[in-house]
Structure 1
Amino acid sequence: MKNDKKRANVTIFDVAKEAQVSKSTVSLVLTKSEKVSDKSKAKVLHAIEKLGYVYNREAAALRSKRTNLVALVMNDLTCPLCAQLAVELEKQVYTLGMVPMLVSTNECIERQQQAVQAFKEYNVSAFIMIPAKGTSRQWLDNLYDSGFLVITIMREIAFAKAPSILPDNKKGAHLATSHLIEVGARHIAALGEQDCFEYQAKLAGFQSALTSHHVKHQATVIDVQNNRRAGKKAFKQLIETHRNIDAVMCFSDFIAYGVVDTMREIGLSPGRDIKVIGFNDFADSQFMTPSLSSVKIDINEICRRTCQTLSEQLSGTTPAATTIVDVTLQLRDSSQICEIGV
């Protein structure tokens, strides 16, 4: 009888301490997960046997029961692309028989943590997230290891455990830059925010296009915040120091809007004097004067693949670690107007 009481007092924390592993590792072993190494599994099982720990599966099942709620944690609903994603995700999550709960973090880590904690208390089934800037792999992995289904979209946290659904940013930048070269541009500048998750992929696509077309002029790459005002300022500085620039590849439509504004202010004709291409193809881009060429991200396909991944997770199937969704180039006047007399 004394021995039974001792066993009842042994907790999962005692097992973790004895095995010198985390509580989440013990939980994974108890639920027969394949995500634990054989070495860690052996240490946990040895600690369980030594301490006499008894796993109450019935109580565990009750604790882990999930609702039909899906948390949509968006980074910035003032961004047109993010807003479109939220609307389409809501539609497609409902088709799975689940109910979406939407929140915007405004790129704030603290707000993201608060929102996720609140959703955990509601015992949501899954998190679909555009991670805020500064999100760490450890934090995301801890959420994943705690038993929640987690999917990141648009932004990938390198080497994190949660699956990611991403647009092909490298291909988009490659296509856009190649087009500029094919219409005669040779002195091309790239404007983008280095602090953005997708910056390196877009930069790689920009550089690969220059290489594949044997453009020997050294590329001008400028770090600029992702907004219209920053685009205006960056282009003013660019044209003062690089007067031979004949095309600008912008890593965002917001930046491209600023570039076009400044070109008009200083008497240049966008598309004729200097060609411009944006990225994301916001709805307003086609109504500008001249209309803005841009890389289009297929929002519907991003959301469809996300919900497909969620369905796989719900059924116990392991989804692809990374899903890349194709992009297309929308060509308009800002990159296609020929020089006068040509």
Structure 2
Amino acid sequence: MERRPTIIDVAKAAGVSKSTVSLVLQRSPQVKEDTRIQVREAMARVGYVYNRSAANLRSASTGLIGLVINDLRNPFFTEFAASLQMKLAEEGYAVVLANINEDAEMQAKMIVALIEHGVSGFVVSPAYGAEDNTLEAIARAGLPAIQVFRKVDDRDDLFPFLAPDYQTGSRLATEHLYNRGCTQVAFVGGLADRAVTMERMSGYLEVTSQRGHEPIVITGAASHEFGVRGARDLYDNYPDVDGVLCFNDLVALGLMAGSQKLGRSIGKDLRVVGFDNIEGCLQSEPQLTSVSCGIPGFAEEISRRMLAWLNDGTPPELGGRTAVELVVRGSS
């Protein structure tokens, strides 16, 4: 991808100095009107877009960060939003939150609205759908933006990405179930065409393959309701399954509830592990074993990287994965 034009490119095209271009961008009265027009025409020719909000933020003590979340009904994302808001607030920044309810069309509208309201940067946990255009408005505006948890745009120079190490978490959970004596382990939940589903399933597939077992996968919505339905599916069609790794904790809690209604004892007849370690894991009976993604620490890292980007203009080198941990409780 071609690099974005700079004020140096504008200065060369207009035949003026870089400082003159800066004065025009700052709307300084020191610049003559004909020079101002000359610079504006050069900006149009080279395709330069001035990121006024980011420039203002670098010279001010407060600013606005747009936080776009795919589904705030999921406590996992709610915890992240709250943690990030608190970390940014400690540095004098405010968060403008947009819940887009897994709707790519709504996401595009909200991103434009946030740009129009002068946010200086974005943290986006994106909805899937129309990936080619999901973040294009942010690119045109020249605003810093970090993708978290899900990656829908591969332009790492524009939209660096960071997520927990889902593959390792999946592997740890599956190995734990086999080590607890399970003989057939299934994976339940997550839509089949989603990259995040494949990541959270990857460690499971790795371990089952190493043990010479056929994977048993039931994909679907990442919801409590689907977990209840998954319990019935396992009971009717896979009666020998005695261990389950779920796409997330909502699915796991639903599967536990559904299995208990069918007379299965969780932690004995059926061992269950979730993913995300939401607060609800502690409220179930038995308490749910889950893969913790360390959300407070994750939010702190995102806050640190975003503020550094805004303050010095250098995109963070992300793309890695943050550590996860298996938290063992009564369900397994």
- TM-score norm. by structure 2 comes to 0.81
Given the alignment of the two structures, is residue 233 of structure 1 paired with residue 233 of structure 2, yes or no? no
Q: 2:112 matched to which residue of 1? A: 117
* Residue 60 of structure 1, aligned match among 25, 36, 39: 25
SS state at 2:258 partner: helix
In terms of mean alpha carbon deviation, does 234-243 or 57-66 score higher?
57-66
User: How many angstroms apart in 2 are the aligned matches of 1:144 and 1:123?
Assistant: 15
Aligned to 1:12: none
State the partner residue of 1:187.
184
Which has the larger displacement, 111-120 or 248-257?
A: 111-120
Confirm whether residue 284 of structure 1 aligns to residue 275 of structure 2: no
Cα separation, partners in 2 of 1:135 and 1:89, compared to 1, 3 Å: farther
Are residue 322 (structure 1) and residue 319 (structure 2) matched? Answer: yes
Asked whether the 8 Å contact 2:170–2:204 carries over to 1, the reply is: yes
Alignment pair present for 1:333 and 2:312: no
Check whether the contact 2:65–2:95 (CA below 8 A) recurs between aligned residues.
Answer: yes
Q: Kindly indicate whether the alpha-carbon contact (under 8 Å) linking 2:122 and 2:144 is maintained by their aligned counterparts in 1.
A: yes
Question: How big is the shift at 1:303?
Answer: 0.7
The residue type equivalent to 1:69 in the other structure is L
2:161 aligned residue? 164
Q: Summarize deviations over 1:157-204 as a string: whole Å, max 9, x none.
A: 251330112111111111000100111112111012124441111111
Give, in whole Å, the separation in 2 of the partners of 1:323 and 1:98. 26
Contact 2:71 2:99 in 1 (8 A): yes
Alignment of 1:1-342 (within 5 A): 28-32=4-8, 48=13, 56-61=21-26, 64-66=51-53, 67=57, 68-160=63-155, 161-193=158-190, 194-211=192-209, 214-314=210-310, 315-335=312-332
Deviations along 1:201-233, whole A, 9 cap, x unmatched? 11111112224xx32221101112111111111
Alignment length, in residue pairs?
296
Q: Return the alpha-carbon distance in structure 2 between the equivalents of residues 301 and 180 of structure 1.
A: 27
**Superposed displacement of residue 139, structure 1:** 3.4
Indicate how the Cα distance of structure 1 residues 285 and 30 shifts in structure 2: closer, same or farther if over 3 A, else same: closer
Distance 1:320 1:116 in 2: 23
C-alpha deviation, 1:331, in angstroms: 0.4
Q: In 2, distance between residues paired with 1:159 and 1:225?
A: 25
2:171 partner letter: H
The root-mean-square deviation of aligned C-alpha atoms, in Å, is 2.5
Counterpart Cα distance in 1 of 2:309 and 2:274: 35
Q: Deviations over 1:71-119 (max 9, x none)?
A: 1112222211111111111111122322211121111222222221121
Seen in structure 2, the aligned counterparts of structure 1 residues 135 and 83 have a Cα distance that, compared at 3 Å, is: farther
Q: 1:144 to 1:61 in 2, by over 3 A?
A: farther
Amino acid at match of 1:322: G
Contact 1:170 1:202 in 2 (8 A): yes
Partners of 1:225 and 1:231 in 2: CA distance: 8
TM-score (norm 1): 0.79
2:85 maps to a residue whose letter is E
CA-CA distance at 1:138 after TM superposition: 4.1
DSSP 3-state at the match of 2:134:
helix
Aligned partners of 1:130 and 1:153 also within 8 Å: yes
SS at 2:320 equivalent = strand
Distance 1:237 1:301 in 2: 37
State the shift of 1:29 in Å. Answer: 2.7
Matched residue type, 1:199: T
The letter for the 1-side match of 2:303 is C
Instruction: State the AA in 2 paired with 1:99.
Output: A
Deviation at 1:251, TM superposition (A): 1.0
SS of residue in 1 equivalent to 2:52: coil
Asked whether the equivalents of residues 189 and 226 of structure 2 are also in contact (C-alpha less than 8 Å), the reply is no
| Percentage identity across paired residues of the two chains | 26
- What are the ranges of 5 or more consecutive residues in structure 1 without an aligned counterpart? 1-20, 33-40, 336-342
**CA pair 323-309 structure 1, distance change in 2 beyond 3 A:** farther
How big is the shift at 1:57? Answer: 3.9
Larger Rg, first or second structure (1 or 2): 1
CA separation in 1, counterparts of 2:130 and 2:150?
A: 10
Contact 2:72 2:99 (C-alpha < 8 Å) held by counterparts: yes
